[in-house]
Amino acid sequence: MRLRLQTRVFLTFVLVVVLFVLLCAGAGAIIIGRTVLEEAQRRVGGDLRSAWAAVNDRKESMGLLMAMLAGAEPIREACVSANPATSRMRMETARRLGELDFVSVVDADGRVVLRTVEPHSPGDDLSTDPFVYRALRGETLSGFAILEPERLEAEGRTLARRAYIAFEPTPKAKPRPQESEAAGMVLMAAAPIRDDGGRILGAVYGGALLNRNHDTVDDIRSTVFADETYNGKQIGAVTVFQWDVRIATNVFTADGNRAIGTRVSSQVYDQVLENGRSWTSRAFVVNDWYLSAYDPIRDVEGRVIGILYVGVLESRFNVVRSRLWMFYGALALAAALLVLIVGYIFSRRLTRSLSGLARAADRLAAGRLDVRVPEPAANDEVRDLTRDFNAMADRLEEREERLRNANASLQKLNSSYLEMLGFVSHELKNTLGVIYTAAHALSEGLVGQLTEPQARMAGSICRSIDTAVSMTRNYLSLARIEKGELEVDRKPCDFVRDVATPVLAEFAQPMADHKVRLVNELPPSAPLKADANLLCVAFRNLIGNALKYGRPAGTIRIGFSSEPDRYRVEVWNDGRSIPAEEAEHIFQKFTRLSDDPEAVRKGTGLGLFITREVVTKHGGDIWAEPGKGEGTSFVFTLPRDGQRTDAEV
């Protein structure tokens, strides 16, 4: 669609100002959005630290409880007494007060002597358990651990069943071969039991299973977020992951159930579980967007065994951001409307005087070089522009006239050159034909026996005439190419029978004279659709070059390969290798190698140019492949059906 100058100026003015307004509004919105997001992420980071503080308080209280139990006399007696009933009662009371799932006692060798929860099974060796091992060496400690199902079954009859979690299908989670998790994550503490002399009698340990322990994550959420809601939904969420599986959470699915068994995304998996680093960003958690923070959970030996997650509803922060964006949008719209009015008035006044110049420029562009624009009365920039326009039109008209005259002269000269080239080449061909026949008759002794010096002279004459005939053929081909008369008459033919065999027969005697060995790898037949006469010209040039620039008593090899849609022919000689930087230039007209030590040999520099034209006309390609050290290959391809293939385009 064509727009008037006034419209373009108006739209350009409006576009610039509107873009500026939008840029300012967008920059403000981005800054506000980034500030809100950074503040929200700082809030989430603080919430995560608060969650860890709540977890650490729980760990410390468990450690204090174990230390208190370790100092109680009934617990000491449990390490040496055969009747643990009194000790079990005391420990059970402490377990309930501490909201633990199990409390047990081991002797100095690490063997369980007392458990408070059914099945009360003693006797198993826990000396290698990290908590028991360190407690028996005098350390009071607390932390996270993963307990296998057998251990959970021994600590409490229902714990193994509670720990079992089947995986739920979770988009974007990293694939795992397992379909469920039978082990459980516990928060444990242990303390050494000493006698009055300080000798370690054993250790007491206890713990709380976190799998499906929703009270723990709900208490952390209440501590961190004070049960704050937004649109009827808790703004915060806390989750404990055992490796990558949710085992305790207050994130709910669409059907109202806690999202137990769902798994963390592969991105968080790689960052937190594989690399042991925190990850903070916005994330889609089950059914809503949260500003989320993930921290690795480590056991007492420093290994990553899970994740502590804290998230805040993103929608709470989006409200402020949306309101500010609306404000800036309204401001930008008002500014755009104001600019629209001002821009229209300005463009109308600016372009009124330029309308005539615009119409004249259109006519000038259409080729009407005689168009001129009357100069306005006002002495301003528009008048200067009009004067320059008219001067430009005068110069264009003058130059156009000179170009027409020069082009006519060049066409006449080129026509004369082509006619002369064709005429001279044709006449030379006829004359040289007679001389060629006579010279070869003389050389072959058809008119009488020659002496040895006469035979050498006759042979020299024949070679010179052969060169002249080759040059004349090239000039005739050049004339046809320059006139655009090089037409390809494609007919079914055979490359070996109709092209290679006749050409090689022509060069049989020269090869024998030069003692050149021919390695012919051509197949018995290579049918294709092409102009056999033109291909003979191209192939003759390549064989002639191979003979001319190869080594005396050397080798010429004709390679051949067949592909589904084309043939590939290679002509190799063992002469000097062509420099790689000149491999492409040698296909240009009248080109010889710049440092060719054989340049004294006669030639027109047209053979490879004509060869490339013939191959290209057939839909093929040709190139030179310099050898390593010595030798050069000229390779060309020919489509079997005479049409260029997709691979060659």
Supply the DSSP string of 111-165, one letter for each residue. BEEEESSTT-----B-TTSHHHHHHTTT--EEEEEEE-HHHHHHH-TTHHHHH-E
Domain 67-209 belongs in CATH node 2.40.50.100: no
Q: What is the tens place of the pLDDT at every residue in 235-290?
A: 788 999 999 999 999 888 878 789 899 998 889 999 999 999 999 887 777 667 78
- Any idea which fold 213-317 has? Beta-Lactamase (3.30.450)
Measured distance CA(632)–CA(516) in Å, rounded: 16
Are residues 354 and 5 in contact, defined by beta-carbon separation less than 8 angstroms? yes
Measured distance CA(247)–CA(227) in Å, rounded: 21
The C-alpha angle 213, 214, 216, rounded to 5 degrees, equals 80
Using H for helix, E for strand and C for coil, what is the string for 229-271?
EECCEECEEEEEEECCEEEEECCECCCCCECCCCECEHHHHHH
The pLDDT, as a whole number, for residue 36 is 62
pTM recorded for the entire structure: 0.49
Q: How many CA atoms lie within 13 A of 199 on its CB side?
A: 6
Q: Give 319-334 as a DSSP string.
A: HHHHHHHHHHHHHHHH
Measured distance CA(391)–CA(325) in Å, rounded: 55
Q: What is the strand order of the sheet 279-285 is part of?
A: 245-249, 236-242, 304-313, 288-298, 279-285
Across-strand partners of 625?
A: 633
- Phi first, then psi, for residue 27 (nearest 5°) are -60, -40
The token pair that represents 159 in the structure block: 């714990």
In this chain, the answer to whether the domains covering 67-209 and 213-317 adopt an identical fold is yes
Collapse the DSSP code of 377 into the 3-class scheme (helix H, G, I; strand E, B; otherwise coil) and give the result. coil
Measured distance CA(541)–CA(546) in Å, rounded: 9
* DSSP one-letter code for 297: E
Cα Dmax for the chain: 144
- Domain 490-648: homologous superfamily in CATH: Histidine kinase-like ATPase, C-terminal domain (3.30.565.10)
Across-strand partners of 141?
A: 190
| H or E element at residue 521 | none
Question: If 0-12 CB within 10 Å is exposed, 13-18 middle and 19+ buried, where does residue 530 land?
Answer: buried
The token pair that represents 359 in the structure block: 């119409």
Instruction: Tell me the H-state helices in 483-571.
Output: 501-506, 508-513, 532-549
Across-strand partners of 576?
A: 630
Interhelix angle 85-97/5-71, rounded to 10 degrees, is 160
The token pair that represents 88 in the structure block: 């079990």
Cis upstream peptide for 175 (omega within 30°): no
The pLDDT, as a whole number, for residue 649 is 35
Position 543: which residue type?
A: I
Measured distance CA(497)–CA(516) in Å, rounded: 22
The token pair that represents 38 in the structure block: 């950074």
User: Residue 497 to residues 501, 563, 572, 639: CA-CA distances in angstroms?
Assistant: 6, 19, 20, 17
Measured distance CA(237)–CA(124) in Å, rounded: 39
Collapse the DSSP code of 351 into the 3-class scheme (helix H, G, I; strand E, B; otherwise coil) and give the result. helix
The pLDDT, as a whole number, for residue 37 is 66
Map tokens 């939904």 to a residue.
233
Across-strand partners of 597?
A: none
| H or E element at residue 400 | helix 381-443
The pLDDT, as a whole number, for residue 208 is 94
The pLDDT, as a whole number, for residue 600 is 42
- Phi first, then psi, for residue 626 (nearest 5°) are -60, 140
Are residues 200 and 106 in contact, defined by beta-carbon separation less than 8 angstroms? no
Measured distance CA(330)–CA(543) in Å, rounded: 81
Are residues 610 and 477 in contact, defined by beta-carbon separation less than 8 angstroms? yes
* DSSP one-letter code for 495: I
Reference 105, options 97, 96, 92; nearest CA is 92
In the chain, what are the domain boundaries?
67-209, 213-317, 374-485, 490-648
> Residues of the chain whose pLDDT is less than 50?
423, 598-601, 645-649
Exposure letters 28-39 (e unless 16+ CB within 10 A, then b):
bbeebbeebbee
